[in-house]
Chain A
């Protein structure tokens, strides 16, 4: 995966990712996708190109359990979110919906940097700066869910969760 970094700070909460004033009224993720991050950056959706990365500091996705947050980001074209840490409900939701969430040191990534992400290897190459950072591997159960494309397809295939 290759794309540009869109940099945000710490504690980006789910209300900022997709506000409650939009999310309660529709299941149409393409409609929600037009509003992601708008309270922090009204022009984000216009600047985002399909395959770009959202890069943040610590505690990304804190706040509500709304699954519309990762879903709307995915529908807006975000390929993966890179952050120093994630809030736990958001992290589960992101993996459950097939949107990769990588924990890594994002301090050296600036807005607009070109990144190349190797999910399998957990390696992020900053093509603009010529640097490389690593992301620790996900627990087995999350990798299994991601490899099925998300929890819906996983459950459809397996019927229930299993550890081996």
Chain B
């Protein structure tokens, strides 16, 4: 479905941001060299970026004050070899003046938001595929590999293919016990794991406006699970309120033109949507929670760049408060950042989790990436709020990972089996 037309003058959000950063009239399909506003890498990608940077003959960075390293994937280090890579990152950050977000600062993507490094209308690259998350605050933010990050750090620019855009409109209001993660999983199910490959998503509608920023970030976070480059949203008063206390930097929010050209459009009404679950081993293998209810679980994870924010922890704490995690279940909670952790502490959420029998980790990626903090055993089922359930993702190819909302994961931890959160709320 093409809205607008091939000769339309109107532009999508992506075309506008890439035009502004390249000095060209950037249209989908064009290749442009664009100036970057911020670059980021984490401990799984930064060591290779350092090696690439040095291989390029780099002896200084073009991104002074606009570059950060985050130690979040294996933090604190579970292995001597990883400790050495962390040391390499600290040394490089010190030498070239990158902002270093060390162990405990949080998941790179939440840190980038908490510290207002990803601003509306800005162009950001991160050496992590879930960099697309900041689209929710109107940043054209996309994941790249280590060498692209190194080239950006060194020269301040990178080449981009201006993406086609899929317009996604979500309307209706969420029923009790149903959350933004359920909207996101429903979208992945419909669009599929590669249905938006190379495209940008522009996501809007009254159901998106009704969500808080935390919930919107969850949806943009899953953009890459549909193959998309970024999951963009427009700015509203909630976005502006988020940045008001965090930065005095000027920024220019970008809206699409009414006659912009879209490659495709999809519309969803979520009024009748129930809790969704992605079954092993693919994110688009989604079903209503009823179809997997009763599946015995050994571990539940609440956290990650998908669902480790304050609204997520509140939803999970509301379910478990005053109750006990089922015998034989490990419930792991990892706040997405130090700021989230502090707020959760102040609200009593950490106390509620701990009293219920959960283990609270330091802010970071926790067991999502399979290096530490809860590698499942052979044959075990895990239910997680993360964004990937690939075989071996959590460190054991013999385990089975289900993805769901924080409320569904919390309810499942109480029962020891996958549970519809509406039955315990």
Contact = CB atoms under 8 A, between A and B. Distances in A.
Interface of A: 11, 13, 15-16, 19-21, 23-27, 39, 58-59, 62-68, 71, 85, 87-89, 92-93, 96-97, 139-141, 150-153, 155-156, 159-163
A160 B127 CA distance: 18
A160 B391 CA distance: 39
B391 A25 contact: no
Contact of A24 (B44, B57, B154): B44
B360 interface: no
Contacts of A92: 144-145, 148
B97 interface: no
Interface string B57-75: 1000000000000000110
Contact of A155 (B74, B151, B224): B151
B227 A87 contact: yes
Contact of A25 (B79, B126, B193): B79
Contact of B229 (A13, A15, A88): A88
B110 to A, nearest CB: 17
Interface stretch (B211-219, B271-279, B327-335, B392-400): B392-400
Contacts of B52: 151-152
A21 B374 CA distance: 12
Contact of A20 (B51, B194, B393): B393
Contact of B73 (A15, A16, A24, A152): A24
Contacts of A58: 194
B3 interface: no
A65 B81 contact: no
B181 interface: no
Interface of B: 31-33, 43-45, 47-48, 51-52, 55-57, 73-74, 79, 81-82, 85, 126-129, 131, 143-148, 150-151, 154-159, 161, 193-194, 197-198, 224, 227, 229, 282, 369-371, 375, 388, 390-393, 395, 397
A160 B155 contact: yes
Contacts of B33: 161-163
A16 B390 CA distance: 8
Given A139-B31, A160-B157, A151 B148 contact: yes
A163 B81 CA distance: 40
19 contacts: A13-B388, A13-B390, A15-B390, A16-B390, A20-B395, A21-B371, A24-B44, A27-B85, A59-B227, A64-B129, A65-B129, A67-B45, A67-B48, A68-B48, A151-B52, A151-B147, A152-B52, A160-B155, A161-B157
Contacts, number: 154
B145 A156 contact: no
Given A20-B371, A151-B151, A27 B48 contact: yes
The 4 closest A-B pairs by CB, nearest first: A93-B145, A160-B155, A59-B194, A67-B145
Contacts of B161: 139
Given A24-B74, A39-B397, A155-B151, A163 B31 contact: yes
B194 A87 contact: yes
Contacts of B126: 65
Given A39-B391, A65-B143, A92-B144, 19 more contacts: A11-B194, A15-B388, A16-B390, A21-B371, A24-B73, A25-B81, A58-B194, A59-B227, A62-B227, A64-B44, A65-B144, A67-B45, A67-B127, A88-B227, A92-B145, A93-B145, A96-B148, A155-B150, A160-B156
B395 A21 contact: yes
B393 A15 contact: yes
A155 to B, nearest CB: 4
A87, A89, A150: residue with the most chain B Cβ atoms closer than 10 Å: A89
Given A88-B229, A92-B148, A16 B193 contact: no
Contacts of A68: 48
Q: Which of the listed residues A64, A85, A156 has the most CB atoms from chain B within 10 Å of its own CB?
A: A64
A162 B299 CA distance: 50
A62 B73 CA distance: 19
Contact of A63 (B146, B158, B390): B390
A19 B32 CA distance: 33
Given A15-B391, A155-B151, A21 B194 contact: no
B347 to A, nearest CB: 32
B391 A93 contact: no
A133 B45 CA distance: 35
B391 to A, nearest CB: 6
B193 A59 contact: yes
A87 B392 contact: no
Contact of A150 (B147, B155, B397): B147
A63 B151 contact: no
The winner among B79, B158, B159, B229 for most chain A CB atoms within 10 A is B159
A147 to B, nearest CB: 15
Contacts of A160: 151, 154-157
B155 to A, nearest CB: 4
Contact of B159 (A64, A93, A141): A141
Counting chain A CB atoms within 10 Å of each CB, which of B31, B145, B147, B390 scores highest? B145
A139 B198 CA distance: 14
Q: Which of B73, B147, B227 has the most CB of A within 10 A?
A: B147
Contacts of B79: 25
Contacts of B47: 27
A103 B91 CA distance: 40
B216 to A, nearest CB: 22
Nearest to B79: A25
